[in-house]
Structure 1
């Protein structure tokens, strides 16, 4: 398969714009101007966007320490000296020059540029019109997802709608970015199918676009639209997997609860992902990073089956028969069980856990989005119905909360334990105004750490056009 050589020039978002930079064509690649001629080109270019979803930037260290250890349910893990730079995210001491801050920024912009190549060039290809429109819609949904990541972490960022000659642009406001995301998701949802033929699992769907849109509306605090849109998703036939353990095992992939899921299957084309490996039991399955905190342990109610099915402990035997090692002082004593792949199912051709899919959006999240939006609108009965669906699957009784304030707290708590270690906790704390209280003891500073800094290299290469977030210098 030929590779797409996409010339990128977004200041330091992707590559340096220094005058002495020479763009040398790699052997076996094709320039973008010689590409986008056939239907096959269109499909390959769209698949290149999907390949980023399973990339290091989106499933490995950068995403995990930006969205993960900044919350209070995940800490660095491994032994103290291993990748000690991650400690800066545990205690909010990262700076504008931090490689992690820059790495996540760069990765998301690479993905945006891939999407923009498809959105701009595929409409000009002489090919099946239905497929053409669908591929552009897929690219728009994926671009919306990448912008959603960017706006939650960095705030307002430049909007690049298509390919441009000048990428040195000032930041748009967060409100403008959210409006851009809504537009992409609305247009995508009008075209995307709800299902695909067998063998195409992982391509984004109408339900995925509407589900992500409902979450975006929740972040915008547009509760009526979050409620209405999540109701559309609820009406599409998704169901909670009755077995929480099955949900996160390979057999549960693309099941009834899957709304937006990354296909990370080990293949000759893509080679799996490292999402599970970086978090797997150290010296047994993986590297042992991004482990559950004591605070997360304490957050579960007695009898909640999610506790033991989310946290993998030393010395335990898993339901699939793996004995987890113990007594290794370099390994830690608990890990993220949601990423665990049984030894009997592991594909050694791509490394441990490479077949483990990344669940970006589950139906349980949709139910809790709907519950939160309903409660904010004063519809406590609808909120209680949906929070109870999630609780009952965890073998818990119905919520005892009544009244808008108590129910709001109960929904936030349910999000925490249901979505534990799925990279939602930090942005949820910021979104709901809890970050200063919960994360303050860890080093979080109100008025600063709600956002990450814009990387110094990006500001320098933009010749000062990009401005910094408050509190960073």
Structure 2
């Protein structure tokens, strides 16, 4: 799977829907590369469509600076970092919760996801026309729908209800653009679309263990079930979430790695703990994810943003192995022997984002690394099972799953749990992995958690991020703004 992302993408088939303020971005001339009929006559091109959706995940406006800003720097897990005078355009505002609808981070996240959704819709449109093995076609459709569900999950967590586009839109069809692309659906309708995609693909996708060679890392049945369990959790569908997480656990496809610190290292890529991760290579790397968070100073390893907060450091129990695996302390000797010197600007950095130049795949390009990005992992499913189980009255199962996680972390097993203890465990296990902000919002911890971090969470506003103003302008005000912005 890492290698297939290098395949050439056809401009014609990926000149897909982009919700943007620039109308010129929609004016792509047809037949720039190849005639549609000629393309469809070669069944080998079907995989090109699917790979194009995957490869979008590597782009800057998907999981790089802006995503890091709104999912991590906003939270009590992290501070802006870098230097006092480098605000990262709007990252200082993310840190202080003073962001507005004009900030570029929101535009990046919005545009990146809709570009990806556009690719997915285009791929589905053409996949249906290929004459290929039906089982293989069904799998391809399943992979693309899984990715589309993932992109919408990002959007609904950030913005609430959003426009739901599930078909290939003619770029000249102004009526469809105005009535579909620029009209928000409710949060409930958005979640319903995500559920529909995931329920459709569970039986289309194979188990992770059946993938081999270049296909390792593709979306699997377990990935769809895991994402659906998380989608149910966010909607407080406790029993559905509990049961779906149970399907992943009982599949026998996944297990915790013995060493928590290895989960985010190259040795942990596509491991037994991995359910779904963005695949990156030295020739087609993840743009600026590690660079944004790399230590800044001398020697310079990156921009130095998204540094673990004292609040996070102080939240760990004594003896919790996850603290030193998550927080890179300065000074120290890193796991690969590299010395973290006092000439770096900050006392802490995100260890999970660290790319070793001596012990991992490295070509000297900080801006595009071969480090995979974990999206869904098995420990997350154990936590979901525990939290949903607690709410559904399955307390013994919650105790067992929390104990399993704690023992791996070097802590003692527990004999009882509370919701507070489960959420505390979730913070320790998932720290700096882009879930913390969404977790404190969905569980109502926002005001208290941010107050302890010296920040003000505005109830009725900060539960959602603002719809980007440039998108509202492009829609001629058809897109409506979230409360408080």
TM-score (norm 2): 0.90
Q: Which residue of 2 aligns with 1:42?
A: 46
After superposition, give the CA deviation of every residue in 1:316-348 in whole Å (9 maximum; x if it has no partner). 1123211112134xx212111112222212411
Q: CA deviation at 1:15?
A: 5.5
1:94 to 96, 99, 107: 99
Distance in 1 between residues matched to 2:40 and 2:102, nearest whole Å: 37
Are the aligned partners of 1:137 and 1:192 in contact in 2 as well (CA < 8 Å)?
Answer: yes
Distance in 2 between residues matched to 1:15 and 1:45, nearest whole Å: 26
Q: CA deviation at 1:314?
A: 1.5
1:317 to 333, 336, 352: 333
After superposition, give the CA deviation of every residue in 1:193-219 in whole Å (9 maximum; x if it has no partner). 113112222211100000000000000
Q: Which residue of 1 aligns with 2:407?
A: 392
Are the aligned partners of 1:49 and 1:142 in contact in 2 as well (CA < 8 Å)?
Answer: yes
Q: Rate the CA distance shift 1:316–1:381 in 2: closer, same or farther, 3 A.
A: same
Q: Which residue of 2 aligns with 1:467?
A: 480
Q: Which residue of 2 aligns with 1:443?
A: 456
Distance in 2 between residues matched to 1:353 and 1:343, nearest whole Å: 13
Are the aligned partners of 2:125 and 2:168 in contact in 1 as well (CA < 8 Å)?
Answer: yes
Distance in 2 between residues matched to 1:299 and 1:33, nearest whole Å: 59
Task: Please tell me whether residue 239 in structure 1 is matched to residue 247 in structure 2.
Answer: no
Q: Rate the CA distance shift 1:105–1:35 in 2: closer, same or farther, 3 A.
A: farther
Q: Rate the CA distance shift 1:139–1:95 in 2: closer, same or farther, 3 A.
A: same
Q: Rate the CA distance shift 1:211–1:22 in 2: closer, same or farther, 3 A.
A: closer
Are the aligned partners of 2:17 and 2:119 in contact in 1 as well (CA < 8 Å)?
Answer: no
Q: CA deviation at 1:241?
A: 0.4
The residue matched to 1:75 in structure 2 has which SS? strand
* Aligned CA-pair RMSD: 2.0
Q: Which residue of 1 aligns with 2:163?
A: 158
Task: Please tell me whether residue 79 in structure 1 is matched to residue 92 in structure 2.
Answer: no
After superposition, give the CA deviation of every residue in 1:87-126 in whole Å (9 maximum; x if it has no partner). 1111121111111111111111001111111112201111
Are the aligned partners of 1:435 and 1:444 in contact in 2 as well (CA < 8 Å)?
Answer: yes
Q: Which runs of 5+ in 2 are unaligned?
A: 1-6
After superposition, give the CA deviation of every residue in 1:378-407 in whole Å (9 maximum; x if it has no partner). 1110000000100110010123644xxxx1
Distance in 2 between residues matched to 1:236 and 1:43, nearest whole Å: 27
Task: Please tell me whether residue 298 in structure 1 is matched to residue 314 in structure 2.
Answer: yes
Q: Which residue of 1 aligns with 2:440?
A: 429
1:206-285 alignment runs, 5 A limit: 206-237=221-252, 238-267=254-283, 270-283=284-297, 284-285=300-301
Task: Please tell me whether residue 167 in structure 1 is matched to residue 182 in structure 2.
Answer: no
Q: Which residue of 2 aligns with 1:288?
A: 304
Q: Rate the CA distance shift 1:286–1:22 in 2: closer, same or farther, 3 A.
A: closer
After superposition, give the CA deviation of every residue in 1:429-450 in whole Å (9 maximum; x if it has no partner). 1110111221244132110011
The residue matched to 2:303 in structure 1 has which SS? coil
The residue matched to 2:352 in structure 1 has which SS? helix
1:3 to 2, 6, 9: 9
Are the aligned partners of 2:21 and 2:473 in contact in 1 as well (CA < 8 Å)?
Answer: no
Distance in 2 between residues matched to 1:215 and 1:33, nearest whole Å: 40
Distance in 1 between residues matched to 2:374 and 2:177, nearest whole Å: 32
Distance in 2 between residues matched to 1:384 and 1:246, nearest whole Å: 25
After superposition, give the CA deviation of every residue in 1:19-39 in whole Å (9 maximum; x if it has no partner). xx7835599745778755432
Q: CA deviation at 1:349?
A: 5.2
Distance in 2 between residues matched to 1:22 and 1:63, nearest whole Å: 24
1:125 to 121, 130, 140: 130
Q: Rate the CA distance shift 1:33–1:57 in 2: closer, same or farther, 3 A.
A: farther
Q: Rate the CA distance shift 1:347–1:327 in 2: closer, same or farther, 3 A.
A: closer
**Count of matched residue pairs:** 460
Task: Please tell me whether residue 62 in structure 1 is matched to residue 87 in structure 2.
Answer: no
Distance in 1 between residues matched to 2:162 and 2:435, nearest whole Å: 21
The residue matched to 2:375 in structure 1 has which SS? strand
Distance in 2 between residues matched to 1:246 and 1:85, nearest whole Å: 32
Are the aligned partners of 1:430 and 1:450 in contact in 2 as well (CA < 8 Å)?
Answer: yes
Are the aligned partners of 2:302 and 2:366 in contact in 1 as well (CA < 8 Å)?
Answer: no
Q: Which residue of 1 aligns with 2:430?
A: 419
Q: Which residue of 2 aligns with 1:105?
A: 110
Q: Rate the CA distance shift 1:33–1:465 in 2: closer, same or farther, 3 A.
A: farther
Q: Which runs of 5+ in 1 are unaligned?
A: none
Q: CA deviation at 1:86?
A: 0.7
Distance in 2 between residues matched to 1:157 and 1:33, nearest whole Å: 34
Are the aligned partners of 1:447 and 1:470 in contact in 2 as well (CA < 8 Å)?
Answer: yes
Distance in 2 between residues matched to 1:214 and 1:431, nearest whole Å: 15
After superposition, give the CA deviation of every residue in 1:16-57 in whole Å (9 maximum; x if it has no partner). 237xx7835599745778755432322112111111222212
Q: CA deviation at 1:371?
A: 0.3
